[in-house]
Structures are given as C-alpha cells and as structure tokens.
C-alpha cells in the first residue's frame, strides 16, 4: 500500500478529480493549503502598501491505494494538473505501514479497496 | 417655467439614490461570481461611475439632450457649456444633467454581467465609455430628448425600460457572444462566492430604484407618488410569484431566486411606473416573473455564457414590462394615455428598433476594440482569477506569507 500525496493548483482541482474518477480512484481527502515552490512571487498593492505574496494557494490531495493502483493514480493527477508553468505542484508516493477501515475493522489492502470491488 | 423648490428637493435626493444603484449592482453581480473574480466584478460597476460619468459630462449629455435632430442631439452642451442654474422644467438645468448622468452610468454597468470572469479590464472600460456615447446617448435622445423620434411615435417609457434595460440587454447579448464563454463554462460547477452580497445588492437596488422611477416624474407630484408606489408593489408581486415557482420546481425557496425576482420586478415596472394603476403594477410584476424565470432556466442549458443573465433579467423583463405598459396604461391615472392594441404595436416597434440599433452598434464597438487590443484574459489569468491578474489585489487576502516591500516594486 502507498499513500499518494499531491499538491496542485486550486484551479486544476476539478480537472484532477474528474481524471481520478475516470481512473476509478474513489477514496481521497483534500485540504486547502498554502505553499511555496519555485514560482515567481505575486506582487499586490493596497493603497501605499506593496506586498510580495510568498505563499500561493494550493490544494493537497491524499489518496491511499494498493500498489498496482499507484501508477494510474499518479498518471491521472500528472496529466490533469499540468499547465507547463512553474507552480504546477508535486506528487509524493509514501510507503504505508497499516490501514484500517473504521466501519468494518478491515485492514490493509481490503481497507483501501473501494466498497463493492473484490480485492484483487 | 419657474424653479420649484419641492421638485428640486426631490430630484436632489433622487439623483443620489440612482447613483447608489451602480455600487449596488456591483454587489448584486459580485456575489454571484467566484471568489477569485469578486473584486474585478465589483470594479466593473465602480469604474462606470468614473469613466461613463465623465464621458457623459463632457459629451454624452449633449448627444442625448441637445437639439440637433430627432435622431441625435448636437454639440451645444459639450464640456457642459450652457448647463447652468437656469430652469429645465421646474428644476435647475445642472440638476437635470446630474440626474440623467446617473442613468448613463448604471446602464453601461449593467452590461458587465454578460462578460464577467474573463474580459480584460482595460478593453472593458474602453467599451463601456464608447458605448455610453455611441449607443446609450442616442437611444436616450430618441425617447427623452427634444423631438426624439420614438417619443414622437408615441412610445411609452416612463423611466427607461427600453432606453436602459432592453438597450443594455441587447448589448450584453452581443458582448457575451463576441467575447465568448468562460473556459470553465458548462464544464465545471461555478458557485457564487457570497450570496448575502447578492441579496444586499438587490435590496440597495430596490432603494435606489425609487429615485430611478419616481424621480423620472421630474418633480414632487402625483406622477412621482404613483411611480413610487408602483415601484414598491411590482417587485413584491414578482418576488411572491418567483418564490412560488422556485417551490414548485425544487421544493426550496432560493435566496438568489428572491434577489433575482426583485430585480426582474423592478425592471418590468420601470417603463410602466407612472402610467399604470397600483393594481395593474401588481399584475404586471406577477406576470413578469414567468418569462424571466424560464428564460434563466433555458439559458443555462445553452452554450450562451451570459454569465449573470443580463438578457433573461433585463432583456426579457424589460420587454415584458414595455409591452404590458402598452396594455395596462390608464388615462385615469396618468392623465394622457389608455392602453390599447395600437399602443402595444407602438411599444413593440420601439423595442425592435432599440434592440436592432443597440446590437449592431455594440457589435461594431466590440469588434473595433478587439481589433486594437485583446478582449479576453489569457487562459492562465482566467484560471488564476481576474482579481490578481487585472487589479493586483485579492478580495479575501489572509496575509499569510505576505512580505512588505518598502520601496514599492523595487526590492
């Protein structure tokens, strides 16, 4: 099992969700975050005050998947989130020690397999 | 005629009321767009206060209210020459000019609803400024100017249903088509960023509309009292019918629906305000809900990205109001004209001519501006939002990660 963590542009979230659903990745968590990569900073002016915005709005997606699902998941995110400009984000794939499904107590592979799909 | 101080007092207040309608429209529209475009949408209304207002003072007023011909005014009032304290009717000429200026501003700002979230700010400002001179001012002359040909034809338009709402809606339709739809249109759900803003805007529009309609009597008289009462009653009826339609369709009375219903009722009563009885205003407001309600539902299923439904609210609502004015006008209340089949025909002709002229002239202006600059923001700027890309500000900045630059843009 792996945990796929992606940090993407907020305006690409809908495209990414669509791509993930097409790739039949059904369980995920998202959060609104702020971050800084290599993108050029944005300069904003409020009356006499000029500020440099070092942090940009991003969305973090976390998806727990079984090993053979890692590649389709990563590809779906990569294709949907890419604009080609600096600031498209990152994808991290992390090893996972254990997973539990709270409702049933299922563990590991069974716990990351969507309901209704035979674990295989 | 001599100056009348009651008339002058009422028009002073009415002018201020109509001016507030433009910021109110900004909030009405600004609540319905996405967070990243909130300021840009508000600025589209606020900028009209300056650019269109000034164009009106320098040239527009003369084009609308000068005397040259039945088609267009002359240059006698250019740069406010001859706009003095002498009476125009029973109020000072400067006050008449200022009152009419507030109408030019709101009419141009109305168009922005069709092109929010994608049109660049500079070309937009250029467009509304030119549009107010080349489209609004002549059409105002036809209906309200001395010897205007639609007035001679006998068209009834008390406060500007044709001049303001149908005119702006025809321009909005052309702008939405030429500028094109937002890149996310019909692909993603685009939710309103602040529905309370939209309700606030609708409420303030209603307040301002008392100045718009009752002020159009150009005096503190019976006609103003009738227009005032009708401006109160018609939107009440529209709001009730709109809510009923919402309940029947979705089992929920929506807040945006209520705000929209109020505006549609106000639009519809505008041409009729001083011509119909209060009971007729209630009937007119109630009837006006139906075509606009279903036009909104239909438009959302088409490829036409008239983003904030200027056509359905102001165009359809304006046409229904203008036609019903021809039917419901009552001599007992307005002292001059009864509704009739012939009057209905005259109303239809005035509507048709206004739509045709507005659409063609708008197309020419937008194409001209599109030829010398780029109308649309780049897809990247559109994705990022127009607040940052056009104005370098955000509506709801939290300030995290913001570093103060002491020497302006040079670090």
Please state the φ and ψ torsions of residue B185, each to the nearest 5 degrees: -60, 130
Model pLDDT, residue B71: 87
Q: Quick check: B380 and A85 CB within 8 A?
A: yes
**Tens digit of each residue's pLDDT (9 = 90 or more) over B135-185:** 999 999 999 988 889 999 999 999 999 999 999 999 999 999 999 999 999
**Tens digit of each residue's pLDDT (9 = 90 or more) over B176-196:** 999 999 999 988 889 999 999
**Tens digit of each residue's pLDDT (9 = 90 or more) over B33-80:** 999 999 999 999 999 999 999 999 999 999 999 988 888 888 999 999
- Residues in chain B with CB shorter than 8 Å from the CB of A43 are 392, 405, 409
Provide the pLDDT confidence category of residue A116 given band limits of 50, 70 and 90: confident
ipTM over cut 0.90: no
pLDDT at B199 > cutoff 90: yes
**What is the set of domains in chain B, with CATH numbers?**
5-391 (1.10.3430.10)
Q: What is the DSSP string of B330-359?
A: -HHHHSS----HHHHHHHHHHHHHHHHHHH
Question: Which CA distances in Å does B178 have to B7, B34, B306?
Answer: 44, 22, 11
- Residues in chain A with CB shorter than 8 Å from the CB of B410 are none
- Residues in chain B with CB shorter than 8 Å from the CB of A51 are 402-405
For A33-51, what is the mean pLDDT? 83
pLDDT at B312 > cutoff 60: yes
pLDDT at A26 > cutoff 90: no
Q: Hey, which residues does B91 pair with through a beta bridge? A: B88
pLDDT at A120 > cutoff 60: no
**Tens digit of each residue's pLDDT (9 = 90 or more) over B238-253:** 999 999 999 999 999 9
pLDDT at B334 > cutoff 50: yes
Residue reference for tokens 């030119």: B130
- Residues in chain B with CB shorter than 8 Å from the CB of A52 are 402-403, 405, 411
**Tens digit of each residue's pLDDT (9 = 90 or more) over B214-237:** 999 999 999 999 999 999 999 999
Q: Quick check: A51 and B404 CB within 8 A?
A: yes
For B328-346, what is the mean pLDDT? 94
B163/A117: higher pLDDT = B163
For chain B, positions 182-211, list CB contacts with chain A under 8 A: 184, 187-189
Residue B50 and residue B134 in contact, taking contact as beta carbons nearer than 8 Å:
no
Q: Quick check: A14 and B403 CB within 8 A?
A: no
Chain A contacts to B (CB-CB under 8 A): 9, 11-12, 14, 34, 36, 42-46, 49-55, 83, 85
Provide the pLDDT confidence category of residue B407 given band limits of 50, 70 and 90: low
Chain B: give the shortest CA distance to residue A74, in Å. 22
B397/B352: higher pLDDT = B352
Chain A: give the shortest CA distance to residue B387, in Å. 10
Chain A: give the shortest CA distance to residue B27, in Å. 20
Q: Which residue among B188, B385, B402 places its CB closest to the CB of A51?
A: B402
Model pLDDT, residue A88: 92
Helix (H, G, I), strand (E, B) or coil at B33: coil
- Residues in chain A with CB shorter than 8 Å from the CB of B404 are 49-51
If residue A59 lies in a helix (H) or strand (E), which one and from where to where? strand A56-65
Pairing of the two strands A49-53 and B402-405: antiparallel
CA B209 to mean position of chain CA atoms:
11
pTM of the full predicted structure? 0.91
- Residues in chain B with CB shorter than 8 Å from the CB of A45 are 392-393
Q: Quick check: A36 and B401 CB within 8 A?
A: yes
- Counts of helices then strands in chain B (DSSP H, E): 18, 3
**How many CB atoms lie under 10 A from the CB of residue B337?**
15
Chain A: give the shortest CA distance to residue B398, in Å. 10
Model pLDDT, residue A61: 96
Name which of B300, B348, B293 is nearest B321 in CA terms: B348
Q: In the structure encoding, which two tokens stand for residue B19, read together?
A: 């001016």
Please state the φ and ψ torsions of residue B307, each to the nearest 5 degrees: -50, -45
**What is the set of domains in chain A, with CATH numbers?**
2-112 (3.30.70.120)
- Residues in chain B with CB shorter than 8 Å from the CB of A34 are 400-401
Name which of B102, B96, B97 is nearest B16 in CA terms: B102
Q: Quick check: A50 and B388 CB within 8 A?
A: no
- Counts of helices then strands in chain A (DSSP H, E): 3, 6
Model pLDDT, residue B408: 52
- Residues in chain B with CB shorter than 8 Å from the CB of A36 are 401
Q: In the structure encoding, which two tokens stand for residue B279, read together?
A: 């009971």
In percent, how much of chain B has pLDDT > 70?
A: 99
Residue B227 and residue B213 in contact, taking contact as beta carbons nearer than 8 Å:
yes
Q: Quick check: A44 and B405 CB within 8 A?
A: no
Model pLDDT, residue A118: 66
**Is B251 within 8 Å of chain A by CB?**
no
Provide the pLDDT confidence category of residue B411 given band limits of 50, 70 and 90: very low
Q: What is the mean pLDDT of chain B?
A: 95
Residue reference for tokens 């025909």: B345
For residue A51, the chain B residue with the least C-alpha distance is B404
- A5 secondary structure, DSSP code: E
**Tens digit of each residue's pLDDT (9 = 90 or more) over A70-82:** 999 999 999 999 9
Integer Cα distance of A65 and A71 in angstroms: 10
Total residues found in chain B within this entry: 411
Q: Hey, which residues does A91 pair with through a beta bridge? A: A6
To 10 degrees, what angle do helices B38-55 and B93-110 make?
Answer: 140
Size of interface A-B (CB pairs under 8 A): 50
User: Which residues, in sequence order, are CB contacts of A107 under 8 Å at separation 6+?
Assistant: A98, A99, A100, A101
User: Which residues, in sequence order, are CB contacts of B127 under 8 Å at separation 6+?
Assistant: B111, B175, B365, B366, B369
Q: Quick check: B404 and A55 CB within 8 A?
A: no
């Amino acid at each position: 099992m792996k945990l796929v963590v992606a940090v993407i542009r907020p305006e690409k979230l809908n495209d990414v969700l669509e791509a993930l659903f097409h790739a039949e990745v059904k369980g995920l968590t998202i959060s609104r975050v702020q971050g800084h990569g290599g993108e050029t900073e944005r300069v904003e002016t409020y009356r006499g005050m000029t500020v440099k915005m070092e942090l940009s709005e991003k969305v973090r997606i976390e998806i727990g998947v079984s090993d053979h699902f890692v590649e389709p998941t990563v590809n779906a995110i990569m294709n949907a989130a890419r604009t080609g400009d600096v600031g498209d984000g990152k994808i991290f794939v992390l090893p996972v020690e254990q997973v539990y499904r709270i409702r049933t107590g299922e563990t590991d592979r069974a716990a990351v397999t969507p309901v209704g799909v035979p674990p295989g | 005629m001599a100056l009348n101080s009651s008339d002058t007092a009422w028009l002073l207040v009415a002018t201020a009321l109509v001016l507030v309608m433009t910021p109110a429209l900004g909030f009405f529209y600004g609540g319905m767009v996405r967070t990243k475009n909130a300021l840009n949408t508000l600025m589209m209304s606020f900028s009209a206060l300056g650019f269109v207002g000034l164009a009106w003072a320098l040239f527009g007023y003369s084009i609308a209210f000068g005397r040259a011909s039945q088609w267009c005014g002359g240059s006698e009032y250019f740069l406010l020459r001859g706009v003095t304290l002498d009476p125009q009717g029973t109020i000072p000429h400067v006050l008449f000019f200022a009152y009419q200026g507030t109408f030019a501003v709101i009419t141009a700002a109305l168009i922005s609803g069709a092109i929010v979230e994608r049109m660049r700010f500079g070309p937009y400002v250029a467009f509304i400024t030119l549009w107010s001179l080349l489209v609004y001012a002549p059409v105002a002359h036809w209906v309200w100017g001395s010897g205007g040909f639609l007035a001679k034809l006998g068209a009834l338009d008390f406060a500007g249903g044709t001049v303001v709402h149908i005119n702006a809606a025809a321009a909005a339709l052309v702008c939405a088509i030429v500028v094109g739809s937002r890149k996310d249109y019909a692909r993603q759900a685009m939710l309103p960023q602040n529905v309370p803003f939209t309700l606030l805007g609708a409420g303030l529009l209603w307040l301002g509309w008392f100045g718009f309609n009752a002020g159009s009597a150009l005096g503190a008289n019976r006609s103003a009292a009738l227009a005032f009462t009708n401006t109160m009653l018609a939107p009440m009826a529209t709001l009730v019918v709109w809510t009923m339609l919402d309940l029947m369709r979705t089992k929920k009375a929506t807040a945006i629906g209520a705000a929209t219903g109020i505006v549609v009722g106000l639009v519809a009563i505008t041409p009729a305000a001083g011509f119909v009885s209060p009971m007729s205003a209630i009937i007119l407001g109630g009837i006006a809900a139906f075509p606009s309600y279903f036009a909104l539902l239909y438009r959302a299923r088409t490829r036409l990205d008239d983003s904030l439904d200027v056509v359905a609210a102001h165009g359809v609502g304006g046409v229904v109001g203008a036609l019903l004015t021809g039917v419901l006008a009552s001599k007992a209340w307005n002292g001059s004209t009864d509704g009739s089949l012939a009057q209905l025909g005259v109303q239809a002709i005035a509507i048709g001519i206004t739509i045709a002229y507005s659409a063609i002239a708008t197309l020419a202006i937008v194409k001209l501006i599109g030829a010398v600059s780029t109308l649309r923001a780049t897809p990247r700027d559109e994705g990022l939002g127009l607040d940052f890309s056009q104005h370098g500000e955000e509506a709801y900045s939290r300030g995290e990660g913001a570093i103060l630059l002491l020497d302006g843009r040079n670090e």
